[in-house]
Chain A
Amino acid sequence: MSRLVTRRELINLLGATGGTAAVLQAGSVLGLLPATASAAALDLLALGSTNKKVAILGGGISGLTVAYELNKRGYDCTVLEASHRCGGRIFTVRHGDLIDEIGNRQYCEFDDDPHMYFNAGAARIPTSHRSLLAYCKELGVELEVFIGENNNAFLQDDALASGKPLRVNDYKTNMRGFLSEMLAKSMSEQQMDEPFTETEAENLLSVIRSFGDLSEGDLYQGSSRNGYASGGYLTHGVQKDMLAFRDLLQSSMGRIALSAYEGDYGPCLLQPVGGMDKIIAGFLSKIGGQVKYRAIVAGIQVRNDGVEIAYDQGGARHKLQADYCFNCIPTHLAVGLDHNFPIDYIKAMKYVRRGEAYKAAFQAKERFWEKEGIYGGITRMNNSSREIWYPPHGIHKDKGVVLAAYDFGGGSYFTKMVQQERVETHLQDGEKIHSNYRDMVEKPITIAWHRMNHMLGCAARWRQSFSGWTHEEEQMYNILQAPAGGRHYVIGDQMSMNSAWMESAILSAHWAMQDLDVRVRSEIAK
């Protein structure tokens, strides 16, 4: 009865059940479609004796990528950065640092120690982000593992277990057990009607059984996967009580517990040793001399023969003439500059909405989570603070910096609050997980990206609908991606279809430089 399934048939089968995404992923596994773009070396012409000036507006990672790559090819680059620091949304906060939130300026009071830092913007590097990783390697940025998924961290929902935090492990093991039992039962009844061969059905059953650690008779009767209630080393392990399936269903946390670390979110993630801004430091070690700080771009005039930039620095207005311009200033700020962009270009800029993000952190007087067997990872709560992150670095040192909240949008809940209200909310939320939280933490910092100077948002939102991009949106995207007057490029993660990743920002810069390269080559050939 067993019959070989051709690759094409398998793809059709997956396509019928899982939609295009499943087809694409499986396709690359089988080697039919190209795998995720690897970090292809940029093939850009070195200028030689030709002189070309490039103005780079904003020292975000996309701007610095352009400066670094074009500098290598002999372009004369100047980066104008409005803030006192480069990196934009790559922002590591340490002892003494200014958090330039409009109306809520803070200085970080953390202890002055290399591991006492907080990545207030980008914090995780997926291993599939090949271009970013290639730069880390090239620039000597040392990486270490970032732990997001940790089964020993907690889940907390007032609707679940009377609000008592559950270890992710307890939740997951039980939930998977019940799910498997249900699947296994329906399998055995229906397998004859299913489009599987006998072997396939057997294999599927074995997957289901092991997914939920089912015992004989395909029943879930608890598991040792979430540890023992007692014993396990010198005495026999005593199995933990099972949780009641009904109880687990009182909360929607399962959605998060079972799927939060898929795709770009891990589980294998990386971070630079000492803070995400080590990547920025890496770029600056090569092109730092070309950056002007506290240089606020005020005007962009695209002309036939170049681009004229006006910027304010040191209380005076300056001009910068360039042949080309690469601009990573967020579009919602760029439209307010004195520019002469084409109408449909402005229309596209105005269309992009600004996303929201909010993070907060405390210095912990002790690494209290380690005493609870937690080493790195994320606790998830069904409240406004949403998450607690335990630092994967500085293990067993005296202190650490713990993420107290990460709210990625919707209503600017914390953004509207004054500092004390924000902090009090995080303390109350955290106390539900760790009863000693309030005593253990101090020196709070909060970063509301919607109010951060020269940023006022996070992650451009092109799509109005969850169901995908409309034709008009794609058109506007294409208009904004093409250089205005052949000379002004919008770059940054805002010029990608997957915003809020460093990789996207870098790839937008690569796209723009490749476009520039074609133009420059043809100009030189004339």
Chain B
Amino acid sequence: MPDPFWRNGMIGKREVIVFFAALSFCFIKAYAAENLSDLREPYNDRYCTTCHGSDGRGNYGIKAPRLAGMEPWYLKRQLENFRAGIRGTHSSDREGIAMQSMAVKLSDSSITDIISWVGSWDYVATEITIEGNESLGQQLYIQCASCHGANGEGNEALGAPALRGQNDWYLATQLRNFIEGWRGSHPQDSLGQQMILMAQSLQNDDGIKNVVSYINTLSRK
């Protein structure tokens, strides 16, 4: 090793084996670039918990929502939308932009891997951070229920994700983003466009607060 600090002297056993395998390989074949890359620090795309918290519990510090318990079909659609720039490209969608640039290079197989990884996390109850008028929120929720279910359980056939159990601060941000057209205005985001229309009935921050605080009461099974 040229330098004791080269990768912290942290060459793992696996890498050493690869290295010697590569060396002996050299006798047969010229040293190819792929052997070099075997020596490099390995990686995969399992980055989610850095932002989304332990076991995907959601992290307010990054404003990254809960992934644990998220429906695989919904997660898939969102990852694909981010990757394609259908979501997270409006200049006012700060959190969306952050996610979009991280998702842009995901391969289909990485997305599949992420979905199965996320599926292995247990759901634990979210903390409540938003308190509004629940009964006013209940009135407002009637409209939401037609797609997202009376108990906020979601409806795959309609493409509507579960709402209950999601971080309330995240729901509030997304509702605001829909109202303002910061999310959902992409021409290829037909479900998002639907949400933009629906969200208008909340009118303002109070409406958002009230409906989110009602959703907070819909306990998760």
Contacts and interface: CB of A to CB of B under 8 A. Distances in A.
Interface residues of A, number: 50
Contacts of B64: 336
A333 B50 contact: yes
A367 interface: no
B32 to A, nearest CB: 16
Interface stretch (B36-44, B135-143, B181-189, B192-200): B36-44
A103 B105 contact: yes
B62 A332 contact: yes
Given A86-B8, A336-B53, A456-B51, A96 B60 contact: no
A221 interface: no
Interface in B166-206: none
Contacts of B103: 103
A338 B58 CA distance: 10
A437 interface: no
A288 B7 CA distance: 12
Contact of A98 (B40, B51, B52, B104): B40
Residue from A100, A299, A336, A350 having most chain B Cβ neighbours under 10 A: A336
Nearest to A280: B5
B57 interface: yes
Contacts of A103: 101-106
A107 interface: yes
Nearest to B94: A412
A277 B3 CA distance: 12
B50 A338 contact: no
A114 B98 CA distance: 35
A284 B50 contact: no
B43 A105 contact: yes
Contacts of B58: 336
Contacts of A504: none
Residue from A100, A331, A456 having most chain B Cβ neighbours under 10 A: A456
Contacts of B105: 103-104
A288 B101 contact: no
Interface string B96-114: 0110011111100000000
B59 A333 contact: yes
Contact of B47 (A338, A418, A453): A453
A70 B8 CA distance: 21
B54 A415 contact: no
A299 B36 CA distance: 37
Interface residues of B, number: 39
Nearest to A99: B41
Given A107-B40, A416-B101, A332 B61 contact: yes
A85 interface: yes
Interface in A378-435: 412, 415-418
A296 interface: yes
B35 interface: no
A278 interface: yes
A336 B60 contact: yes
A333 B54 CA distance: 9
Contacts of B59: 332-333, 335-336
B49 interface: yes
A456 B60 contact: no
A476 to B, nearest CB: 14
A397 B4 CA distance: 24
B41 A454 contact: no
B40 A336 contact: no
B157 interface: no
Contacts of A296: 49
A299 B55 CA distance: 10
A332 B106 CA distance: 24
Contact of A102 (B7, B36, B50): B50
A339 B89 CA distance: 33
Interface in B69-102: 97-98, 101-102
Contacts of B55: 298, 338
B102 A335 contact: no
B10 interface: yes
A280 B4 CA distance: 12
A210 interface: no
A333 B43 contact: no
B53 to A, nearest CB: 3
Nearest to B91: A416
Interface string A452-466: 011010000000000
Contact of A350 (B41, B61, B106): B61
B101 A336 contact: no
A336 B54 contact: yes
Contacts of A298: 49, 54-55
B7 A451 contact: no
Contact of A336 (B2, B6, B36, B52): B52
The 8 closest A-B pairs by CB, nearest first: A336-B59, A336-B53, A332-B61, A103-B102, A281-B5, A98-B41, A298-B54, A335-B61
Interface of A: 82, 84-86, 94, 96-98, 100, 102-105, 107, 112, 114, 274, 277-278, 280-281, 284-285, 288, 293, 296, 298-299, 310, 331-338, 349-350, 354, 412, 415-418, 450-451, 453-454, 456
Interface of B: 2-10, 36-37, 39-41, 43, 47, 49-55, 57-62, 64, 97-98, 101-106, 124
30 contacts: A94-B6, A96-B40, A97-B41, A100-B41, A102-B102, A103-B102, A103-B103, A103-B105, A112-B2, A274-B3, A277-B5, A281-B4, A285-B4, A296-B49, A332-B61, A333-B50, A333-B61, A334-B61, A335-B60, A335-B61, A336-B58, A336-B59, A336-B62, A337-B53, A337-B54, A350-B61, A354-B61, A418-B101, A451-B102, A453-B47
Given A98-B43, A293-B8, A333-B50, 14 more contacts: A84-B41, A86-B8, A96-B40, A103-B104, A281-B5, A285-B4, A288-B8, A333-B61, A333-B62, A334-B61, A336-B51, A336-B58, A453-B47, A456-B50
